[in-house]
Amino acid sequence: MKPIVTLTLNSSVDVQWEVPEMLHTKKLRASNGITFPGGGGINVSRVIKTLGGQSISVFTSGDFVGHFLREMVDNAGLITRVVQIEGVTRTSSTVFDRSTGQEYRVTPPGPSLTEREWQACFDALFDISTDYIVATGSLPLGVPDDFYARVSHRAKKQGRRVVLDTSGAPLAAALEEGVFLVKPNRGEMKRLMGTGDLGPQEEEALAQQLVREGKAEVVALTLGGDGALLATEGRTLRLRGPDVKVKSAVGAGDSFVAGLTYGLARPMELADAFALGIASGTATVLTAGSELCRRQDIERIYREITGKSLDV
């Protein structure tokens, strides 16, 4: 299996705090902050590593925060291809309020990229031999809305599969071009299709419509605690994980993408790869803040869903 290439244009350093109670003005005595390397593609690479797979993480890094991020990514044992930028890599934070059990997520927009910088990311991506490119996250300021569409256009010419997880105009533009797999959540699907709340049958109909129209060969519509549905030509699967106590949903979508893509790249049967996506997403909600999933949780949940062991 060739390594999966992940792309993170808007990388971040994620800091996670726990406070006894969220109160304004007062000094909040927090736990020692835990830091994680963040941004969609980096998260996907971290989970692929947990699953025993290999990926190459292409990401932007700027100034001293970027330097710190690179150290963290190296410590996480990921293989990287760094694109140096002028701006300062963003810092995101998660604050967990112990008194209510609620979590607050603060995510700044991140630095703007110049044309030379986003072009360097594009070139880096196609410099690496791979079968799967995972493009996730919002586009930073300065990057044209059709960036992911351009990635897909080039990838298709080279026989590579693009897995896309983004929203809004960049998502719509990429689907006009057509991608291999797209992973909207409920809100992203509604916005894309210009609809209100969707019932189960409408969800399936819209996912199948995207496949029929050639926008994606595989549509994975994730539904939070309700699991996900997977549409391919003439076939729709629906799956949900076991009921679990949710600690934090941060990174659940990225973990789902990692499990599914890794499963497809191995290759596993479509239904098993889908189950691995659900198992990875569900395992991530078991951990606090920006921590992602643990191997033993993924294995246990995968076995519960499929009755099979994850032999890797």
Ligand X SMILES: Nc1ncnc2c1ncn2[C@@H]1O[C@H](COP(=O)(O)OP(=O)(O)OP(=O)(O)O)[C@@H](O)[C@H]1O
Q: Which residues form the catalytic set? A: 254
- Of 144 and 224, which CB lies nearer to ligand X in the complex structure? 224
CB of 282 to ligand X, least distance (A): 4
> Is 246 near ligand X (CB under 6 A)?
yes
Contact stretch for ligand X (CB under 6 A) within 137-145, 230-238, 243-251, 265-273: 243-251
Contacts of ligand X in 134-193 (CB under 6 A): 185
Contacts of Mg ion in 227-256 (CB under 5 A): 253
- Of 180 and 256, which CB lies nearer to ligand X in the complex structure? 256
Residue type at 239?
Answer: L
x-or-dash pattern for ligand X, window 255-284, by CB under 6 A? Answer: -x---------------------x--xx--
> Is 223 near ligand X (CB under 6 A)?
yes
Residue 30 contacts which entry, ligand X, Mg ion, none (Cβ below 5-8 A, type-dependent): none
Exactly one of 37, 39, 53, 253 binds ligand X (CB under 6 A); that residue is 253
CB of 254 to ligand X, least distance (A): 6
Contact stretch for ligand X (CB under 6 A) within 1-9, 17-25, 82-90, 253-261: 253-261
Q: State which residue has the least CB distance to Mg ion.
A: 253
- How many Å apart are CA 108 and CA 112, to the nearest integer? 12
> Is 222 near ligand X (CB under 6 A)?
yes
- How many Å apart are CA 301 and CA 227, to the nearest integer? 13
Contact set with ligand X (CB under 6 A): 185, 222-225, 227-228, 241, 244, 246, 249, 251-254, 256, 278, 281-282, 285
Which residues of this protein are in contact with Mg ion, per CB under 5 A? 253
